[in-house]
Amino acid sequence: MKTPRLCVLIDPSYERKQEYVEVAQAVLATLHKARHAVVLVWYPLLPAGRHHELLDAVKAGGVRKVWRSEFRLQAPGHEARGMFGSGMLVVNPPWGLDQRLAAAMGRVAPLLSGAASYRGDWWVGE
């Protein structure tokens, strides 16, 4: 039987503190029903650091293949107020996404700000 292709984009408001953990639960529930789904999760980078709750919960859920991509408009430690960047988790990313995204963001970051930076890394579970 052919495996259907499925892509899920999760882009909540994050107005409630609980949403970070709820998003992680939604990712895990999606993968429970469709383990080959490509799941994209956007999250803000804010001084409170609540995005770590999302990241930790996804890691603890045993997700096997995740590409984390974060773009910061300011250097770390210089976040006075408000959103200073954003991140995207991509579960089961298409082949080569990591290289293409890193190359594109490497060209975009210097155009936006002298302090802008991009970071991308793999999480490969067992």
pLDDT of amino acid 126: 45
pLDDT of amino acid 86: 93
**Neighbouring C-alpha atoms within 13 Å toward the C-beta of 100:** 5
Partner residues linked to 44 by β-bridges? 86
pLDDT of amino acid 76: 58
pLDDT of amino acid 2: 72
Q: Spell out, as residue ranges, where the chain has pLDDT lower than 70.
A: 1, 3, 75-80, 113, 124-126
Residues contacting 21, CB < 8 A, separation 6+:
53, 54, 57
Domain boundaries, the chain: 7-124
Nearest to 39 by CA among 48, 49, 29, 47: 29
Phi, psi of 11 (to 5 degrees): -140, 70
**First and final C-alpha spacing in the chain:** 26
pLDDT of amino acid 67: 93
Q: For residues 66 and 68, what is the distance between their CA atoms, to the nearest angstrom?
A: 6
Q: For residues 90 and 107, what is the distance between their CA atoms, to the nearest angstrom?
A: 21
The CATH superfamily of 7-124 is Vaccinia Virus protein VP39 (3.40.50.150)
pLDDT of amino acid 42: 97
pLDDT of amino acid 111: 82
What value, to the nearest 5°, has the Cα angle with vertex 23 and ends 57 and 42?
105
